[in-house]
Amino acid sequence: MKRVLLKLSGEALAGDKKTGFDEATCIGVAEQVKQLVDAGIQVAIVTGGGNFWRGRTSETIDRTKADQIGMLATIMNCTYVSEIFRHVGMKTEVFTPFVCGAFTTLFSKDAAVKALEEGKVVFFAGGTGHPYFSTDTGAVLRAIEIEAEAMLVAKTIDGVYDSDPKVNPEAVKYDEISISEVIEKRLAVIDLAASILCMENQMPMLVFGLSEENSIVETMTGTFTGTKVTVS
């Protein structure tokens, strides 16, 4: 694969701290991505915002405003993580679907693909720019737009299970599963809207645990131990 989109959960970036950033975790991610970039693979990244904000858990404020706060959380995440990437020796660019002054670049497919072809790691922050769409949906949308060959989904758990392994210790992990089965069984890989977008646009996913040693590199070049979500 020559071009992929990596979806990082916000909670995974927080490591054991659960909120904010765990710098060692972020540096570890950056060092792994650098190996891919050095090997000639073009990498785009979307982060969640769950280490700062989960708007759907608020019963007080308007859902639209809650989702807008979530969009801003992903911009903070992408700005921070992109600087960590620069620290380990990569060039980066952060794109948003709305104007953020001098902070980010306004997204267009042409500009994003040009940046990837120049060897930059591209960050897509701010989701889709609209409420009611998760960062999962934004990630799939961007993966389709930039014509990525697959979406790598780095989570706090190490793959797709038939039930929540945090709740059910007997949960069974899938090595491979089709996106149609994910939708049919309502498995919580990514949300339903994002899953349907994957199915309709033939975007395969590789789901794995970010905390597993060297998991990003292994997913691309070595022994993959997560779950492959197929589109056939």
pLDDT for position 183: 94
Domain spans in the chain, listed from the N-terminal domain onward: 3-230
**Per-residue pLDDT at 60:** 87
Identify the pLDDT of residue 188: 80
User: What is the pLDDT, as a whole number, of residue 223?
Assistant: 84
Using an 8 Å Cβ cutoff, are 44 and 105 in contact?
A: no
Q: What is the pTM for the complete model shown? A: 0.94
Mean pLDDT in order along the chain per 10 residues (232 residues): 94 83 92 96 95 78 92 95 97 97 96 98 97 94 98 92 91 95 90 94 95 92 90 82
Task: Name the fold adopted by 3-230.
Answer: Carbamate kinase (3.40.1160)
Angle separating helix axes 63-87 and 23-38, nearest 10 degrees: 60
